[in-house]
Amino acid sequence: MRTRPLKVALLGCGVVGSEVARIMTTHADDLAARIGAPVELAGVAVRRPSKVRAGIDPSLVTTDATALVKRGDIDVVVEVIGGIEPARSLITTAFEHGASVVSANKALLAQDGAALHAAAEEHGKDLYYEAAVAGAIPLIRPLRESLAGDKINRVMGIVNGTTNFILDKMDSTGAGYQEALDEATALGYAEADPTADVEGFDAAAKAAILAGIAFHTRVRLDDVYREGMTEVTAADFRSAKEMGCTIKLLAICERSKDGASVTARVHPAMIPLSHPLASVRGAYNAVFVESDAAGQLMFYGPGAGGSPTASAVLGDLVAVCRNRLNGATGPGESAYAALTVSPMGEVVTRYHISLDVADKPGVLAQVATVFAEHGVSIDTVRQQGRPDGDGEASLVVVTHRASDASLTGTVEALRKLDTVRGVASIMRVEGE
């Protein structure tokens, strides 16, 4: 074994960073054995140097992250600051000064992955980011490497623990969205401002990264259709149960049938209770992958948290250090397929639509005509009068597979019918 240590600079020392530093110390012998050389924490860049950090030598702590990555003797920079800047500049500077980079930064990778990969390649360095998607779950490496000889057709995942906790709570208790969110906040599963989670921004960033890796095609954050889950109601869960389904916020990346284009989207959807993703409880994440040869795979585990994220960071750190000792780099960005990323209108799926309609003869015929005119084929219809006798009835339509554009056209036309008083909900049905 080489005795001269590899030097690691840690950018950020919050929940994840402090756990990375801790494990680097407590598992130093293990890490050295797995890498073939010891690794040494050479510097820790923080915003608040006065904060006491157990187990970290204070002389390593600096507020000058730029100087740290410019030192020139750093082998690997671990970036766990998050956000776009200064993380982006620091990573680029790290490459320029000879370091490889391990990052957990999903927002940055989703927005600027192509440029960062190009910088890594220009300087012959590694950029690894297993921790950026689904926390501790080994996912990027299996997709990039284990399935490298296969053809992935769909990646469908629960990639945000906060929203899964809320939806699971609504499912198991019948609670409404606000009540479930309040509990998630009280238990620390949701942040004070939960927008990034509940509006699907976090999941959309992960969808962009996953789609890019799965389809060897650049997928930008802007390419991802995004719909949050704040409008999912207890009534939607009752409808889902009648269908033998539950509701999950899903990130779905699909290859089109002809193979020439891909789509990426995030929205709540009904999935059958028999689907492996339906039984993913609490704040856990899981990603379901369908490929030509391997068939159906699922990867399950904690999607967030200091220790799980640190586990993913350290796995990358070992790989990058090994590559460095070998004088090699791992697989870089793979965008050779360069497929078209199609807009949401071209996505084809099934829909569950609840309408409030006038409770009188002929309404169903009118509604069915609108669906037919837009080329959307109906699978089942359920009509029920209401006990309060307000002259309205509920009409629940489940469609066969149709394009999102056709469904949107259908709903617009339905809203113009006098007999349709309102569209109570539209929910996609996936996983069948």
Site residues (vs a copy of itself, CB under 8 A): 19, 23, 27, 30-31, 33-34, 130, 136-138, 141-142, 145-151, 216, 276, 279, 286, 291-302, 305, 307-308, 310-315, 317-319, 322-323, 326-329, 331, 334, 336-337
State the nearest-atom distance from the C-beta of 141 to a copy of itself, in Å.
5
Q: Which amino acid is at 283?
A: A
> Is there a binding annotation on residue 228?
no
How near is the Cβ of 327 to a copy of itself at its closest, in Å?
7
E strand residue ranges, 277-412 = 284-291, 295-302, 340-341, 348-358, 378-385, 392-399, 402-403
Q: Is 11 annotated as a binding residue?
A: yes
84 vs 260, beta carbon nearer a copy of itself: 260
Identity of the residue, 16 or 370, whose beta carbon is nearer to a copy of itself in the bound complex: 16
CA 95 to chain centre: 26
Residue 14 assigned to a binding site = yes
DSSP string, 122-140: HTT--EE-GGGSSTTS--H
Is 191 part of any known ligand binding site? yes
Nearby residues of 361 by Cβ (< 8 Å), 6 or more positions away: none
How far is 44 from 49, CA to CA, in rounded Å? 10
Answer for the pair 288, 156: CB distance below 8 angstroms, yes or no.
Answer: yes
- Residue 404: DSSP 8-state: H
Residue 2 structure tokens:
């080489």
| Cβ-based nearer residue to a copy of itself, 79 or 236 | 79
Asked if omega into 138 is within 30° of 0 (cis), the reply is no
Assess contact for 125 and 132: CB atoms under 8 A.
no
Nearer to a copy of itself, 300 or 351 (CB): 300
* Residue 156 beta carbon to a copy of itself: minimum distance, rounded to whole angstroms: 13
CA atoms within 13 A on the CB side of 380: 6
Cβ distance to a copy of itself smaller for residue 35 or 420: 35
Do 302 and 136 meet the contact criterion of CB atoms below 8 Å apart?
yes
**Contacts of the segment 168-171: beta carbons below 8 A, 24+ positions apart:** 168/281, 168/282, 170/232, 170/234, 170/237, 170/247, 171/237, 171/240, 171/246, 171/247
Rounded least distance, CB 93 to a copy of itself, Å: 25
Q: Which is nearer to a copy of itself, 146 or 195 (CB)?
A: 146
Comparing CB distances to a copy of itself, the nearer of 115 and 148 is 148
Whether residue 146 is annotated as binding a ligand: the answer is no
Give the three-state DSSP class for 31.
helix
Asked whether residue 367 is marked as a ligand-binding residue, the answer is no
308: helix, coil or strand?
Answer: helix
12 labeled part of a ligand binding site: yes
Nearer of residues 61 and 136 to a copy of itself, judged by Cβ: 136
Minimum distance of a copy of itself from residue 157's CB (angstroms) = 13
Least distance in angstroms from the C-beta of 71 to a copy of itself: 23
CB 75 within 8 A of CB 99: yes
241 is in an annotated binding site: no
Identified catalytic residue from 7, 206, 257, 360: 206
- Report strand pairing: 378-385 vs 100-103: unpaired
Strands (E), 227-347: 245-255, 261-272, 284-291, 295-302, 340-341
Q: Bridge partners of 128? A: 102
The distance of closest approach from Cβ of residue 181 to a copy of itself in the complex, given in angstroms and rounded to an integer, is 24
Known catalytic membership, residue 206: yes
CB of 215 to a copy of itself, least distance (A): 11
- 375-380 own/partner pairs: CB under 8 Å, 24+ apart: 375/402, 375/406, 376/351, 376/400, 376/402, 376/406, 376/407, 376/410, 377/402, 379/350
∠ CA(156), CA(160), CA(163), 5° rounding? 110
Binding-site residues for NADP(+) sit at: 11-18
* Residues forming the active site: 206
Binding residues: 11-18, 106, 191
